[in-house]
Chains A and B, each alone.
Chain A
Amino acid sequence: MSSSENTIEYNRKEIPPIFGKFGLGLFGIGLVLSVLAYLSEPTRSAYNNVILLEFLSSVGLGSLFLVALEYIVGSVWSTPFRRVFEILSSVLLILPLIALPVYLHSHNIFHWTHAEVVAVDEILKQKSPYLNMTFFTIRIIAYFAIWIIFHLLMTKNSKVQDTTKDPKLTKLNTKLSAIFLPLFVLTLTFSSIDWMMSLEAHWFSTIFGVYYFSGTFLAALAAGTFLIIWLNEKGLLVKGIRKDHYYSLGALLFGFINFWGYIAFSQYLLIWYANIPEETYWFLQRWEGSWMYFSIFFIIVHFVVPYFALLSQPSKMDPKRLKFMSIWIIFVHILDLYWIVMPSFNPDGFIFGWIEIGFILLGLGVLIVVFNYSAKKVNLVAIGDPRLKRGIDFRL
């Protein structure tokens, strides 16, 4: 390109302190509320903690997946802001801390941990080779280990590349991604089964992992999109990120809103058609009492509203709309997890109180604080990436 002689204009600047302060505020309120919650209603708090855990692993793991996806397909357009996703995925490092309270309360929320229940329940007896405390512990340790190892390796390579500008590191990360992606599929699927599907140990849905993946992708992409646009507007990213990049992010968001709808409906349709009591009761639970209104509301806010908000071409380029929809999608993903988890805690009807708010605030706070903290130590742009220049020059 004619402009290719230009050097990449990137001046490292600190993220405005208001960002970190805001995050600390959310984190502080959330932490106080959730500690109080654990003191007053431990079971309900443990359920909320599952939502928190799955939300944070959505964002962290989804970001790492996006990074790996970029390497494996050799995509160019996303290189100018790949680092944002790398930083976002550092939330994986503190996931074991978040998981610890759930693990300690697993007897309260996981039906299958009760030996006397399993003894008289034929279905649980058959599932016990998988659903038992020993194997469960081994599995979750394996998940965290795999995620953290790959996060550390890939971000380290990318960081080293900032100074060495060594194209071999891109090759190396591509290979790492090729190893990571199959592991990602397995760990994501089984971790969603372990943390969420096993809350209703009788129920099963073979598409559940894919369903959780669609939300994971959306949450990570939405968090990234918001941060990319916000940081770019503050001038913290490399010069030259423009509406062509925004459009690609918006189109991916739109595409995965549809993907989510497609998967969510597929899960429903097959269970509805087959009409087997073991499977249908999960949906019936969500269609009884006030849960019914919540489910309808949930379909509208998770599918209908984002679908029409992002349908037209200009709306996918409009930074204001994209920022708003990113926040929206982050919240509806929390709602999605809430819809999966909470009916198991309270089948009688919809509940929402200060405990839920506390855990949501804690989740957002953790996300911002961890992002702010990790962003201090690295460049916000992968300036050593050999594809960066072409990425900035990306046009539709």
Chain B
Amino acid sequence: MEEKILFGYSGLFDTPDEIIEAAKKTADSKYVTYDVHTPYPVHGMDSAMKLKPSRLPYVALVVGISAMLGMLGFMYWITTTDYPVIVGGKPFFSFPAWIPVLFEVTVLSASIATVLAMIIVYFKFPNISHPLHDTDFMRAVTADKYGISIEIKDDENEEEVKAFLESIGAYNVSAIYWNNEEATFKNTVLQPKFLTLLLILIITVSGATYFTLNKLMFMVPFNWMREQDKNIPQEQSTFFNDEFAMRNPVAGTISRGNMPYKYIGQPDIAGAELLNPLPVTKKNLELGKIKYDIYCSPCHGYFAEGDSRLNGQFPNPPSLHSVKVRDWSDGRIFSVLTEGQNVMASYANQLDRNERWAVVLYIRALQRSLNAKESDL
């Protein structure tokens, strides 16, 4: 058996007061590589050991703030640019809803980063061994004793360290040796053991995730969210006698926001009785322009002159600047949009009532652009 390599010396104390005094004396001595071990945090130890404030808070601060800003940017990009979805009628950029997420991300990343920094920088992970492990000294200080261990540097005398520990009142002063394995330990993440562990971890986590999301969710009883007591469109119903899941509205009612159109087949009466409910505002005109450009301009052209690119390939769409159309009332144009006319189909499904009136407003504006009234000048 070859000779063991000496790590250092350890000594035990009985009370927290003694260990505080001993820590003070050790801090004042020439030994720098020492540590104090107690079974629980002893108040006043930091100042007794003259420890400088830890630098870990800076890791927490930097990582926390950058994770928060990163998340802020990420959510901003998702909700306003990449995939804007209206949730609960809120604007895309709804900051209050993000604050809990930002808070969680900040706390989570800061704490994980702090723990990782601690175990990697200070404990030199993946090294998980230390000469003090598995010694009687460690057994004592994790139960009911207090202890100091001093690591011996090359230029320090063993006997002096031993004498020093005894001089500050330690008993059971004993030498701590490296295991051969520990002494020759190469601190690298590329150990096969560590890599295997990592691989197993990756396979387990991803397998479990796949299983949970793709299989487990479809098994009884975890499929309760998928199997709900409701009908989707076109489905058979077991509740109603006629087995239709889709129902007609109750007689005498209309759905919310729906305004029935009572002039079907009577465009002239509509023209005489209907008035445009929308005021002439910039907002309404802009809405009308957008809808006109989408739905009307393919045939009537962007300026309503009937000169779209379909001209000649199709029964020619009429210009909307004709005297006939100019003399129509708003309601008459509205009835054409609602019911269609000749080859023009109804646009009631594409444009709701307000949008149709907005288009009427915009058509009026287009007409005025070519046939301005004197008052417009």
Binding site for B on A (CB under 8 A): 1-2, 244, 265, 268-269, 272-273, 275, 312-314, 394-396
Whether the Cβ atoms of A265 and B99 lie closer than 8 Å is yes
A63 to chain B, nearest CB (A): 26
Given A395-B47, A396-B43, check contact A268 B96 (CB 8 Å).
yes
Which residues of B are found within 8 Å of A395, using beta-carbon distances? 43-44, 47
Q: Say if the beta carbon of B315 comes within 8 Å of chain A.
A: no
Contact between chains at A1 and B96 (CB < 8 Å): no
Please state if A1 and B99 are interface contacts (CB–CB under 8 Å).
Answer: no
Question: Are B43 and A275 in contact, with the CB atoms below 8 A?
Answer: no
Contact A2-B17, Cβ < 8 Å, known A275-B89, A394-B43: yes
Q: For B99, what are the chain A residues with a Cβ–Cβ distance below 8 Å?
A: 265, 269
Q: Is the CB of A272 within 8 A of B96?
A: yes
Chain B residues, Cβ within 8 Å of A268: 96
What's the least CB distance linking B85 to chain A, in Å?
A: 16
How far apart are the CA atoms of A394 and B43 in the complex, in Å? Answer: 7
A2 contact from B21, B47, B89, B97, Cβ within 8 A: B21
A244 cross-chain contacts in B, Cβ below 8 A: 44
Measured CB to CB, the nearest residue on chain A to B42 is A395
Task: Say yes or no: B43 contacts A269, CB within 8 Å.
Answer: no
Residues of chain A lying within 8 A (CB to CB) of residue B89: 275
Q: Quick one: which of B86-112 are within 8 Å of A by CB?
A: 88-89, 96-97, 99-100
Least Cβ distance of B257 to chain A in Å?
A: 19
Render B1-22 as a binary contact track against A, CB cut-off 8 A, 1 for contact: 0000000000000000100010
Closest 5 A-B residue pairs measured CB to CB? A395-B44, A395-B43, A272-B96, A1-B17, A2-B17
Residues of chain B contacted by A313 (CB below 8 angstroms): 53, 57
The secondary-structure label for the interface of chain B is: helix
For the complex, give the distance between the alpha carbons of A273 and B100 in Å.
13
Asked if B46 is at the interface (CB within 8 A of a chain A CB), the reply is yes
The residues of A that contact B100 with a CB separation of less than 8 Å are: 269
By beta carbon, the residue of chain B nearest A77 is B43
**Chain B contacts for A394, CB-based, 8 A:** 43
Give CA–CA (A76, B21) in the complex, Å: 22
Write the chain A residue with the least CB distance to B94: A272
Which applies to chain A's interface (DSSP): helix, strand, loop or mixed? helix
Q: Give Cα A272–Cα B96 distance, bound, in whole angstroms.
A: 8
Residue of B nearest to A311 (CB): B61
Instruction: Give complex CA distance A244, B43 in Å.
Output: 10
Chain A residues whose CB sits within 8 angstroms of the CB of B46 once the complex forms: 396
A-contact 0/1 string along B337-348, CB 8 Å cutoff:
000000000000
Report chain B residues within 8 Å CB of A265: 96, 99
Taking the closest CB of chain B, its distance from the CB of A97, in whole angstroms, is 41
Report B-chain residues with C-beta under 8 Å of the C-beta of A314: 53
Residue of B nearest to A272 (CB): B96
Check B97 against A273 for contact (C-beta < 8 Å): yes
- In the bound assembly, the distance between CA atoms of A265 and B99 in angstroms comes to 9
Which positions 18-68 of chain B face chain A at CB distance < 8 Å?
21, 43-44, 46-47, 53, 57
Known A269-B100, A313-B53; judge A396-B88 contact (CB<8 A): no
Q: How far is the CA of A313 from the CA of B51 in the complex (A)?
A: 14
Cβ contacts under 8 Å, A273 to chain B: 88, 96-97
Minimum CB–CB distance for A317 against chain B, Å: 11
Bound-state Cα–Cα, A275 to B90, Å: 9
Query: Closest residue of chain A to B61, judged by CB?
Result: A311
A275 to B88, CA, bound (A): 9
Distance from A168 Cβ to chain B, minimum over Cβ atoms (Å): 27
Question: Cα distance A333–B21 when bound, in Å?
Answer: 44
Q: Shortest beta-carbon distance, A269 to chain B, in Å?
A: 6
B97: chain A residues within 8 A (beta carbon): 269, 273
CB under 8 Å from chain A, chain B span 107-149: none
Closest to B53 in A: A313
Nearest neighbor of B87 in chain A, beta-carbon distance = A273
Interface centre among B21, B43, B53 (most CB of A within 10 A): B43
- Which A residues touch B43, using CB under 8 A? 394-396
Question: Which residues of chain B are near A269, meaning CB under 8 Å?
Answer: 96-97, 99-100
Tell me, rounded to whole Å, the shortest Cβ–Cβ distance linking A283 to chain B: 11
| CA gap between A203 and B343 in the complex, in Å | 58
In Å, the complex CA distance between A312 and B57 comes to 9
CA distance A395 to B44 in the complex (A): 5
* B152–chain A nearest beta-carbon distance, Å: 30
- Distance in angstroms between the alpha carbons of A396 and B41 in the assembled complex: 10
In this complex, what residue of B is CB-closest to A262? B103
Across the interface, which residues of B come within 8 angstroms of A312, CB to CB? 57
Query: B88 to nearest A CB, angstroms?
Result: 7
Point out which of B21, B89, B96 has the most chain A C-beta atoms below 10 A from its C-beta.
B96
- Additional A-B contact list (17), CB under 8 Å, known A396-B43, A396-B44, A396-B47: A1-B17, A2-B17, A2-B21, A244-B44, A268-B96, A269-B96, A269-B97, A269-B99, A272-B96, A273-B88, A275-B88, A312-B57, A313-B53, A394-B43, A395-B43, A395-B44, A396-B46
